C-alpha cells in the first residue's frame, strides 16, 4: 500500500542544500525495507492470525536510482529507475496447511517528474514552496509468476498484486513540497505526493490503483559544523478505496497507515546521507469500491535510507 517517494533533505545547513543550481546534477540512491505481518480489518487488528500462524508475511526491498538535473535554479527534472525484490509467504495461497513463499523482483515503474520552485531561490533562502508534475510509465512486470504448492502438486500462477513489480498502467504524479525556517537552526518541512492511475484494471484483473503519501515535521541542525541534523514528523500513506479518475474495479486492498517518523541526516560538501524509521501508530484496512471489508497485513515500521551527491 505504501508510496515510494523522495524526501526533503535540509541537512544541517538549511537552505545551502535545498536548492539545485542551474546546470547542476544530483545522483541519489534510496533504499526502503518493510516487513508486514500484522492483519487489520478497518482499524481493528486481527491478533488471532499470528496466534494461529496463518498471517501473510511480505518482505519488500526497493532501490530507487534517481538522476536530477537543474534546468534553472527554479526548475529541475528527475528520472527515477526503481527496482524491487519481494517475498510473500502464506498458507491460504498454497495448501492451507504448510507455509510456502512466492517471490518477484526486477525493474518497477519508471518515473519522470519536473519540479518548480514558486518563489525565487535567490531571494527566499529560508522558505519556499515547489510544485511537481510527472509521469509513471508501465515498465515493471505486472504478470510475474511463481509456484503455488497445492495438495495435488506445484502450480505456476501469478504472484499476489502486493509484490508485483509493476501495475500495468500509465500514471500521473502530482507533488508538492515546502520548507520554512521557524527558529534558529530549525526548519519546518512538508511534502506530499499523489499518484493518479486512471486505468481501471490490467489484463490479469488487478486494479491499477491510485496511491498517496503526505509527511511533515521539523528538522533541527544538531551539530551544524559537522553537518548533522535530526528530524521528527508525521507520515500518512496508503491506497484509496476509489481512484480520483476512472473506475476502481479489480483486486485491490485499500487502506492507510499513520506513522511517526524520526530521522537523521548528515551533509558534507556535496554529499548527503539520510536515515529514517517511520513507526506505525494507526493502521486501517478500508472497504473496497464494492463496500466489501477484508483484511490486509501492515508493517510495524519501515527503514528508509538514501545517499545523494551533487556535481
**14-310: CATH class:** mainly beta
- Tell me the C-alpha distance between 14 and 10, whole Å: 5
Q: For position 288, what pLDDT does the model report? A: 85
CA distance 84 to 64: 9
Determine the pLDDT at residue 293: 74
- Which residues, listed in sequence order, are joined to residue 88 by a DSSP beta bridge? 58, 102
Domain ranges for the chain: 14-310
pLDDT reading at 230 higher than 50: yes
pLDDT at 306 over 80: yes
Above 90 in pLDDT, residue 145? yes
DSSP category for residue 280: E
Q: What are the tens digits of pLDDT across the range 254-297?
A: 999 999 999 999 999 899 999 999 999 999 999 987 767 789 99
Mean pLDDT within 11-21? 59
State if pTM tops 0.85: yes
Cell of 213: 503519501
User: What SS3 state is found at 16?
Assistant: helix
CB 6 within 8 A of CB 189: no
- Spatial separation of the C-alpha atoms in residues 152 and 140, rounded to whole Å: 32
Contact 267, 238 (CB under 8 A): no
Cell 518482505: give the residue.
Answer: 59
C-alpha cell at 76: 529541475
Residue count of the chain: 311
pLDDT tens for 74-115 read: 999 999 999 999 999 999 999 999 999 999 999 999 999 999
CA separation (Å) from 178 to 118, 131, 192, 224?
A: 10, 9, 9, 21
Residue 279 and residue 302: Cα distance in Å, rounded? 7
Asked if 170 and 139 touch (Cβ cutoff 8 Å), the reply is: no
Closest CA to 231 of 4, 5, 10: 10
Supply the mean pLDDT for the chain.
92
Amino acid at each position: 500500500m505504501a508510496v515510494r517517494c523522495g524526501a526533503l533533505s535540509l541537512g544541517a545547513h538549511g537552505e545551502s542544500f535545498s536548492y539545485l543550481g542551474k546546470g547542476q546534477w544530483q545522483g541519489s540512491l534510496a533504499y526502503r525495507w518493510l516487513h508486514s505481518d500484522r492483519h487489520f480489518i478497518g482499524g481493528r487488528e486481527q491478533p488471532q492470525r499470528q496466534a494461529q500462524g496463518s498471517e501473510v508475511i511480505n518482505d519488500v526491498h526497493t532501490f530507487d536510482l534517481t538522476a536530477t538535473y537543474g534546468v534553472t535554479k527554479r526548475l529541475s527534472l528527475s528520472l527515477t529507475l526503481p527496482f524491487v525484490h519481494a517475498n510473500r509467504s502464506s498458507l491460504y495461497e498454497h495448501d492451507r496447511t504448510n507455509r510456502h513463499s512466492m517471490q518477484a523482483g526486477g525493474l518497477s515503474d519508471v518515473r519522470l517528474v519536473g519540479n518548480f520552485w514558486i518563489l525565487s531561490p535567490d531571494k527566499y533562502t529560508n522558505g519556499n514552496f515547489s510544485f511537481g508534475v510527472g509521469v509513471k510509465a508501465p515498465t515493471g512486470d505486472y504478470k510475474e509468476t511463481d509456484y503455488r504448492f497445492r495438495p495435488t502438486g506445484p502450480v505456476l500462477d501469478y504472484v499476489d498484486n502486493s509484490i508485483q513489480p509493476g501495475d500495468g498502467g500509465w500514471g500521473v504524479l502530482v507533488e508538492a513540497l515546502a520548507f520554512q525556517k521557524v527558529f534558529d537552526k530549525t526548519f519546518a518541512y512538508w511534502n506530499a505526493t499523489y499518484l493518479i492511475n486512471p486505468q481501471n484494471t490490467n489484463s490479469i484483473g488487478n486494479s491499477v490503483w491510485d496511491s498517496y503519501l503526505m509527511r511533515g515535521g521539523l528538522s533541527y541542525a544538531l551539530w551544524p559544523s559537522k553537518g548533522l541534523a535530526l528530524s521528527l514528523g508525521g507520515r500518512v500513506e496508503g491506497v484509496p478505496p476509489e481512484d480520483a479518475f476512472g473506475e476502481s474495479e479489480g483486486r485491490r486492498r485499500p487502506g492507510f497507515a499513520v506513522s511517526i517518523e524520526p530521522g537523521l541526516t548528515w551533509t558534507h560538501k556535496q554529499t548527503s546521507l539520510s536515515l529514517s524509521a517511520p513507526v506505525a501508530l494507526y493502521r486501517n484496512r478500508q472497504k473496497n469500491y464494492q463496500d466489501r471489508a477484508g483484511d490486509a497485513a501492515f508493517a510495524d515500521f519501515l527503514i528508509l535510507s538514501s545517499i545523494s551527491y551533487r556535481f
